[in-house]
Structure 1
Amino acid sequence: MTTDNVTERPEQTADQLEHEGDVAADFIEELLDIADIDGDLNLDVRQGRAYVSVESEDESISVLSNPDTVQALQEITRLAVQSKTGAFSRLILDVGGSRDARRRQLEKLVDAAVIKLDEGASQASLPAMSSYERKLVHDVVADRDLVSESYGEGPDRHTVIRRR
Protein backbone atom coordinates (compact mmCIF):
# COMPACT_ATOMS: atom_id res chain seq x y z
CA MET A 1 0.00 0.00 0.00
CA THR A 2 1.45 3.36 -0.95
CA THR A 3 -0.20 6.60 -0.05
CA ASP A 4 1.80 9.46 -1.46
CA ASN A 5 -0.73 12.16 -2.21
CA VAL A 6 0.37 13.52 -5.56
CA THR A 7 -1.76 15.88 -7.59
CA GLU A 8 -2.97 13.97 -10.62
CA ARG A 9 -2.07 15.34 -14.01
CA PRO A 10 -2.86 14.08 -17.48
CA GLU A 11 -0.58 11.37 -18.81
CA GLN A 12 1.99 12.69 -21.22
CA THR A 13 2.51 10.98 -24.54
CA ALA A 14 5.82 9.35 -25.41
CA ASP A 15 6.47 12.20 -27.87
CA GLN A 16 5.90 14.80 -25.15
CA LEU A 17 8.20 12.96 -22.77
CA GLU A 18 10.88 12.63 -25.45
CA HIS A 19 10.61 16.38 -26.12
CA GLU A 20 10.92 17.01 -22.38
CA GLY A 21 14.05 14.85 -22.35
CA ASP A 22 15.50 16.75 -25.32
CA VAL A 23 14.92 20.12 -23.62
CA ALA A 24 16.48 18.79 -20.41
CA ALA A 25 19.46 17.38 -22.29
CA ASP A 26 20.08 20.73 -24.00
CA PHE A 27 20.00 22.46 -20.62
CA ILE A 28 22.32 19.93 -18.97
CA GLU A 29 24.70 20.03 -21.93
CA GLU A 30 25.01 23.80 -21.48
CA LEU A 31 25.73 23.32 -17.77
CA LEU A 32 28.39 20.72 -18.52
CA ASP A 33 29.99 23.07 -21.07
CA ILE A 34 30.07 25.90 -18.51
CA ALA A 35 31.65 23.55 -15.95
CA ASP A 36 34.05 22.21 -18.62
CA ILE A 37 32.97 18.61 -17.94
CA ASP A 38 32.80 16.07 -20.74
CA GLY A 39 29.76 13.85 -20.57
CA ASP A 40 27.57 11.61 -22.69
CA LEU A 41 23.85 12.17 -22.36
CA ASN A 42 21.37 9.32 -22.70
CA LEU A 43 17.63 9.91 -22.98
CA ASP A 44 14.90 7.41 -22.21
CA VAL A 45 11.25 7.25 -21.24
CA ARG A 46 10.53 5.06 -18.21
CA GLN A 47 7.33 4.62 -16.24
CA GLY A 48 5.75 7.77 -17.65
CA ARG A 49 8.78 10.00 -17.04
CA ALA A 50 11.59 11.40 -19.11
CA TYR A 51 14.87 9.95 -17.84
CA VAL A 52 18.16 11.73 -18.59
CA SER A 53 21.47 10.22 -17.58
CA VAL A 54 24.95 11.70 -17.77
CA GLU A 55 27.90 9.35 -18.03
CA SER A 56 31.53 10.32 -18.25
CA GLU A 57 35.05 8.97 -17.98
CA ASP A 58 36.02 12.44 -16.74
CA GLU A 59 36.84 12.37 -12.99
CA SER A 60 35.22 15.79 -12.56
CA ILE A 61 31.78 14.20 -13.02
CA SER A 62 32.10 12.90 -9.45
CA VAL A 63 31.54 16.48 -8.24
CA LEU A 64 28.06 16.34 -9.78
CA SER A 65 27.18 12.74 -8.83
CA ASN A 66 26.65 13.39 -5.12
CA PRO A 67 22.97 12.51 -4.43
CA ASP A 68 22.17 15.95 -2.98
CA THR A 69 23.80 17.64 -5.97
CA VAL A 70 21.91 15.40 -8.40
CA GLN A 71 18.65 16.24 -6.62
CA ALA A 72 19.38 19.98 -6.90
CA LEU A 73 20.39 19.66 -10.57
CA GLN A 74 17.24 17.68 -11.23
CA GLU A 75 15.06 20.42 -9.71
CA ILE A 76 16.83 23.15 -11.69
CA THR A 77 16.51 21.08 -14.87
CA ARG A 78 12.80 20.50 -14.20
CA LEU A 79 12.33 24.27 -13.86
CA ALA A 80 14.23 24.88 -17.11
CA VAL A 81 12.03 22.31 -18.89
CA GLN A 82 8.88 23.84 -17.41
CA SER A 83 10.00 27.30 -18.50
CA LYS A 84 10.56 26.06 -22.06
CA THR A 85 7.52 23.78 -22.42
CA GLY A 86 5.00 25.45 -20.11
CA ALA A 87 4.26 22.08 -18.49
CA PHE A 88 5.26 20.69 -15.09
CA SER A 89 8.11 18.19 -15.44
CA ARG A 90 8.70 15.01 -13.44
CA LEU A 91 11.88 14.06 -15.28
CA ILE A 92 14.52 12.00 -13.55
CA LEU A 93 18.19 12.94 -13.75
CA ASP A 94 20.98 10.47 -13.14
CA VAL A 95 24.61 11.53 -13.02
CA GLY A 96 27.36 8.92 -13.06
CA GLY A 97 25.11 6.13 -11.80
CA SER A 98 24.04 8.11 -8.73
CA ARG A 99 20.47 6.78 -8.90
CA ASP A 100 21.58 3.15 -8.70
CA ALA A 101 23.90 4.02 -5.82
CA ARG A 102 21.05 5.80 -4.02
CA ARG A 103 18.72 2.84 -4.59
CA ARG A 104 21.29 0.57 -2.92
CA GLN A 105 21.46 3.00 0.04
CA LEU A 106 17.67 2.99 0.31
CA GLU A 107 17.63 -0.81 0.24
CA LYS A 108 20.03 -0.76 3.20
CA LEU A 109 17.69 1.61 5.05
CA VAL A 110 14.81 -0.80 4.41
CA ASP A 111 17.00 -3.69 5.62
CA ALA A 112 17.67 -1.81 8.87
CA ALA A 113 13.94 -1.13 9.25
CA VAL A 114 13.17 -4.83 8.74
CA ILE A 115 15.62 -5.68 11.54
CA LYS A 116 13.67 -3.35 13.85
CA LEU A 117 10.44 -5.08 12.83
CA ASP A 118 12.06 -8.49 13.43
CA GLU A 119 13.07 -7.26 16.90
CA GLY A 120 9.43 -6.53 17.72
CA ALA A 121 8.79 -2.96 16.62
CA SER A 122 5.30 -2.46 15.19
CA GLN A 123 6.64 -0.05 12.59
CA ALA A 124 9.87 1.63 11.50
CA SER A 125 10.23 5.18 10.20
CA LEU A 126 12.74 6.20 7.58
CA PRO A 127 14.21 9.69 7.28
CA ALA A 128 12.53 12.35 5.16
CA MET A 129 13.30 12.05 1.45
CA SER A 130 12.16 13.15 -1.99
CA SER A 131 9.04 11.76 -3.64
CA TYR A 132 11.20 9.80 -6.09
CA GLU A 133 13.17 8.22 -3.25
CA ARG A 134 9.96 7.40 -1.38
CA LYS A 135 8.65 5.73 -4.53
CA LEU A 136 11.81 3.61 -4.68
CA VAL A 137 11.35 2.70 -1.00
CA HIS A 138 7.70 1.77 -1.59
CA ASP A 139 8.81 -0.52 -4.45
CA VAL A 140 11.52 -2.19 -2.33
CA VAL A 141 9.10 -2.63 0.58
CA ALA A 142 6.41 -4.15 -1.67
CA ASP A 143 9.00 -6.58 -3.10
CA ARG A 144 9.66 -7.74 0.47
CA ASP A 145 5.94 -8.25 1.14
CA LEU A 146 5.75 -5.42 3.66
CA VAL A 147 3.57 -2.30 3.79
CA SER A 148 4.72 1.31 3.55
CA GLU A 149 2.98 4.65 3.86
CA SER A 150 4.24 8.20 3.57
CA TYR A 151 3.53 10.77 6.26
CA GLY A 152 4.30 14.43 6.77
CA GLU A 153 4.39 17.43 4.51
CA GLY A 154 6.99 18.98 2.23
CA PRO A 155 10.61 18.40 3.26
CA ASP A 156 9.49 16.44 6.35
CA ARG A 157 7.62 13.78 4.32
CA HIS A 158 8.93 10.34 5.24
CA THR A 159 8.05 6.68 4.90
CA VAL A 160 6.88 4.31 7.62
CA ILE A 161 7.22 0.55 7.13
CA ARG A 162 5.26 -2.19 8.87
CA ARG A 163 4.32 -5.81 8.39
CA ARG A 164 1.06 -6.80 6.67
Structure 2
Amino acid sequence: MDNRTNLDDYLAGLGISGADETEAPPPAPEVAAGPVPVMSPADEDPRAVLDRFLTGLAARIDPGLSVSVREGEGALEAEITGENAARLAGRDGRTLGAIEVLAYTVLAKQAGRTDLRVRVDVGGFRKRQADTLSKLAERLAVQVAKSGEAHELQPMPAADRRVLHIALKEHPDVTTESVGEGSARRLIIKPRSYGE
Protein backbone atom coordinates (compact mmCIF):
# COMPACT_ATOMS: atom_id res chain seq x y z
CA MET A 1 0.00 0.00 0.00
CA ASP A 2 1.40 3.39 -0.98
CA ASN A 3 1.33 5.73 2.07
CA ARG A 4 1.80 8.78 -0.14
CA THR A 5 -1.35 7.94 -2.09
CA ASN A 6 -3.31 7.49 1.13
CA LEU A 7 -2.03 10.79 2.49
CA ASP A 8 -2.78 12.53 -0.82
CA ASP A 9 -6.32 11.11 -0.78
CA TYR A 10 -6.81 12.20 2.82
CA LEU A 11 -5.49 15.71 2.18
CA ALA A 12 -7.59 15.99 -0.98
CA GLY A 13 -10.64 15.09 1.11
CA LEU A 14 -9.78 18.00 3.42
CA GLY A 15 -9.45 20.37 0.48
CA ILE A 16 -5.65 20.33 0.36
CA SER A 17 -4.25 18.95 -2.86
CA GLY A 18 -1.06 19.15 -4.83
CA ALA A 19 -3.03 18.18 -7.93
CA ASP A 20 -3.90 20.43 -10.85
CA GLU A 21 -4.86 23.84 -9.43
CA THR A 22 -7.72 24.25 -11.91
CA GLU A 23 -9.71 21.45 -10.32
CA ALA A 24 -11.69 22.00 -7.16
CA PRO A 25 -11.05 19.55 -4.32
CA PRO A 26 -13.64 16.81 -3.93
CA PRO A 27 -16.31 17.63 -1.36
CA ALA A 28 -16.22 15.83 1.96
CA PRO A 29 -19.01 13.23 1.81
CA GLU A 30 -20.23 13.93 5.35
CA VAL A 31 -20.33 17.69 4.84
CA ALA A 32 -20.95 18.78 1.25
CA ALA A 33 -24.21 17.88 -0.44
CA GLY A 34 -23.29 18.70 -4.02
CA PRO A 35 -20.40 19.50 -6.32
CA VAL A 36 -18.06 22.29 -5.31
CA PRO A 37 -17.95 25.06 -7.92
CA VAL A 38 -14.59 25.63 -9.57
CA MET A 39 -13.19 29.04 -8.69
CA SER A 40 -9.85 30.67 -9.15
CA PRO A 41 -8.06 31.42 -5.87
CA ALA A 42 -8.71 35.17 -6.19
CA ASP A 43 -12.47 34.59 -6.60
CA GLU A 44 -13.03 32.36 -3.60
CA ASP A 45 -14.23 33.92 -0.36
CA PRO A 46 -11.58 33.32 2.34
CA ARG A 47 -14.28 32.84 4.96
CA ALA A 48 -15.91 30.08 2.89
CA VAL A 49 -12.53 28.39 2.32
CA LEU A 50 -11.76 28.38 6.04
CA ASP A 51 -15.26 27.21 6.95
CA ARG A 52 -15.12 24.36 4.42
CA PHE A 53 -11.71 23.18 5.61
CA LEU A 54 -12.51 23.30 9.33
CA THR A 55 -15.95 21.74 8.85
CA GLY A 56 -14.38 18.86 6.91
CA LEU A 57 -11.66 18.42 9.53
CA ALA A 58 -14.11 18.56 12.44
CA ALA A 59 -16.49 16.08 10.75
CA ARG A 60 -13.68 13.55 10.38
CA ILE A 61 -12.59 13.93 14.00
CA ASP A 62 -16.02 14.02 15.64
CA PRO A 63 -19.32 14.38 13.75
CA GLY A 64 -20.76 16.13 16.82
CA LEU A 65 -18.52 19.17 16.35
CA SER A 66 -19.70 22.33 14.64
CA VAL A 67 -17.78 25.25 13.16
CA SER A 68 -18.53 28.95 12.88
CA VAL A 69 -16.27 31.44 11.11
CA ARG A 70 -16.41 35.22 11.34
CA GLU A 71 -14.25 38.08 10.21
CA GLY A 72 -12.32 39.84 12.93
CA GLU A 73 -9.75 42.61 12.99
CA GLY A 74 -7.28 41.62 10.24
CA ALA A 75 -8.03 37.96 10.84
CA LEU A 76 -10.56 35.23 10.34
CA GLU A 77 -11.76 33.82 13.64
CA ALA A 78 -13.21 30.34 13.88
CA GLU A 79 -14.88 28.60 16.79
CA ILE A 80 -15.22 24.83 16.95
CA THR A 81 -17.86 23.78 19.45
CA GLY A 82 -19.35 20.54 20.63
CA GLU A 83 -19.32 18.21 23.60
CA ASN A 84 -15.72 17.08 23.05
CA ALA A 85 -14.36 20.19 21.32
CA ALA A 86 -11.94 21.11 24.11
CA ARG A 87 -9.98 17.91 23.45
CA LEU A 88 -8.86 19.38 20.12
CA ALA A 89 -6.71 21.92 21.93
CA GLY A 90 -4.23 19.20 22.82
CA ARG A 91 -1.50 19.55 25.39
CA ASP A 92 -0.73 23.23 26.01
CA GLY A 93 -2.74 24.14 22.89
CA ARG A 94 -0.26 22.44 20.54
CA THR A 95 -2.88 20.61 18.50
CA LEU A 96 -4.87 23.81 18.21
CA GLY A 97 -1.74 25.60 17.02
CA ALA A 98 -1.21 22.93 14.35
CA ILE A 99 -4.84 23.30 13.22
CA GLU A 100 -4.27 27.05 12.85
CA VAL A 101 -1.13 26.50 10.76
CA LEU A 102 -2.99 24.07 8.48
CA ALA A 103 -5.96 26.42 8.22
CA TYR A 104 -3.68 29.33 7.28
CA THR A 105 -1.93 27.18 4.67
CA VAL A 106 -5.26 26.13 3.13
CA LEU A 107 -6.43 29.76 3.11
CA ALA A 108 -3.23 30.91 1.41
CA LYS A 109 -3.36 28.12 -1.18
CA GLN A 110 -7.07 28.09 -2.01
CA ALA A 111 -8.03 31.74 -1.56
CA GLY A 112 -4.65 33.28 -2.33
CA ARG A 113 -4.77 35.21 0.96
CA THR A 114 -1.53 35.39 2.91
CA ASP A 115 -2.46 38.72 4.50
CA LEU A 116 -5.11 37.29 6.83
CA ARG A 117 -4.27 35.74 10.16
CA VAL A 118 -6.27 32.74 11.28
CA ARG A 119 -7.37 32.31 14.88
CA VAL A 120 -9.15 29.13 15.87
CA ASP A 121 -10.69 28.41 19.26
CA VAL A 122 -11.99 25.05 20.39
CA GLY A 123 -14.39 24.70 23.28
CA GLY A 124 -13.41 28.15 24.60
CA PHE A 125 -9.74 27.15 25.12
CA ARG A 126 -8.31 30.41 23.71
CA LYS A 127 -10.73 32.53 25.75
CA ARG A 128 -9.83 30.73 28.99
CA GLN A 129 -6.13 31.02 28.12
CA ALA A 130 -6.49 34.76 27.40
CA ASP A 131 -8.30 35.29 30.72
CA THR A 132 -5.54 33.44 32.57
CA LEU A 133 -2.83 35.46 30.80
CA SER A 134 -4.63 38.75 31.52
CA LYS A 135 -4.80 37.89 35.23
CA LEU A 136 -1.11 36.95 35.18
CA ALA A 137 -0.31 40.27 33.48
CA GLU A 138 -2.14 42.21 36.18
CA ARG A 139 -0.38 40.32 39.00
CA LEU A 140 3.02 40.86 37.39
CA ALA A 141 2.26 44.53 36.75
CA VAL A 142 1.57 45.06 40.45
CA GLN A 143 4.80 43.22 41.32
CA VAL A 144 6.87 45.25 38.82
CA ALA A 145 5.34 48.56 39.91
CA LYS A 146 5.99 47.72 43.57
CA SER A 147 9.57 46.47 43.11
CA GLY A 148 10.59 48.96 40.43
CA GLU A 149 12.41 46.17 38.58
CA ALA A 150 11.58 44.69 35.18
CA HIS A 151 10.23 41.14 34.92
CA GLU A 152 11.17 38.94 31.95
CA LEU A 153 8.81 36.09 31.08
CA GLN A 154 9.70 32.77 29.44
CA PRO A 155 9.54 32.59 25.61
CA MET A 156 5.96 32.33 24.39
CA PRO A 157 3.97 32.36 21.15
CA ALA A 158 3.09 35.67 19.52
CA ALA A 159 -0.62 35.27 20.30
CA ASP A 160 0.12 34.95 24.02
CA ARG A 161 2.48 37.92 24.01
CA ARG A 162 -0.19 39.93 22.23
CA VAL A 163 -2.70 39.16 25.00
CA LEU A 164 -0.23 40.43 27.60
CA HIS A 165 0.60 43.57 25.57
CA ILE A 166 -3.10 44.39 25.22
CA ALA A 167 -3.85 43.68 28.89
CA LEU A 168 -1.16 46.13 30.03
CA LYS A 169 -1.40 48.67 27.20
CA GLU A 170 -3.20 51.29 29.30
CA HIS A 171 -1.62 50.37 32.64
CA PRO A 172 -0.41 53.56 34.36
CA ASP A 173 2.65 52.04 36.05
CA VAL A 174 4.16 49.55 33.60
CA THR A 175 4.94 49.05 29.93
CA THR A 176 5.70 45.93 27.89
CA GLU A 177 8.28 45.05 25.27
CA SER A 178 8.95 41.91 23.23
CA VAL A 179 12.60 40.92 22.82
CA GLY A 180 14.44 38.05 21.19
CA GLU A 181 14.05 36.23 17.90
CA GLY A 182 11.82 33.43 16.64
CA SER A 183 10.73 30.84 19.20
CA ALA A 184 12.95 32.50 21.84
CA ARG A 185 10.95 35.76 21.67
CA ARG A 186 9.70 36.78 25.09
CA LEU A 187 7.96 39.63 26.86
CA ILE A 188 9.42 42.02 29.40
CA ILE A 189 7.21 43.99 31.78
CA LYS A 190 8.99 47.05 33.15
CA PRO A 191 8.12 50.16 35.13
CA ARG A 192 7.10 53.13 32.98
CA SER A 193 9.95 55.17 34.40
CA TYR A 194 12.40 52.33 33.61
CA GLY A 195 14.62 53.63 30.78
CA GLU A 196 12.27 56.50 29.90
> What TM-score bracket applies, with the shorter chain setting the length?
0.7 to 0.9
Equivalent residue, structure 1, for 2:129: 102
Match of 1:117 among 144, 155, 158: 144
Match of 1:136 among 159, 163, 169: 163
Q: Once the two structures are superposed, what CA deviation does each residue of 1:92-140 show, in whole Å capped at 9, x if it has no partner?
A: 1111111111101211331342243144152111222222222111100
Instruction: State whether structure 2 residue 93 is matched by structure 1 residue 65.
Output: no
What secondary structure sits across from 1:53 in the alignment? strand
Would you tell me which structure has more helix in proportion to its own residues? 1
8 A Cα contact 1:23 1:84, kept in partner: yes
How far residue 160 of structure 1 moved from its aligned partner, in angstroms, is 0.7
How far residue 19 of structure 1 moved from its aligned partner, in angstroms, is 2.4
Equivalent residue, structure 1, for 2:104: 78
Equivalent residue, structure 2, for 1:158: 186
Over 4 Å off, 4+ runs: none
Higher relative contact order (CA 8 A, sep 6+): 1
AA aligned to 1:20 is: P
AA aligned to 2:131 is: R
Task: Give the TM-score normalised by the residue count of structure 1.
Answer: 0.79
Would you say how many aligned residue pairs link Structure 1 and Structure 2?
A: 146
Stretches of structure 1 that go unaligned for 5 or more consecutive residues are: 1-15
Task: Give the TM-score normalised by the residue count of structure 2.
Answer: 0.67
8 A Cα contact 1:152 1:158, kept in partner: yes
What secondary structure sits across from 2:67 in the alignment? strand
AA aligned to 1:23 is: V
Give identity over the alignment, percent.
21
Task: Please say which structure displays the higher CA radius of gyration.
Answer: 2
AA aligned to 1:110 is: A
User: Quick one: distance in 1 between partners of 2:178 and 2:80?
Assistant: 30
Instruction: State whether structure 2 residue 175 is matched by structure 1 residue 147.
Output: yes
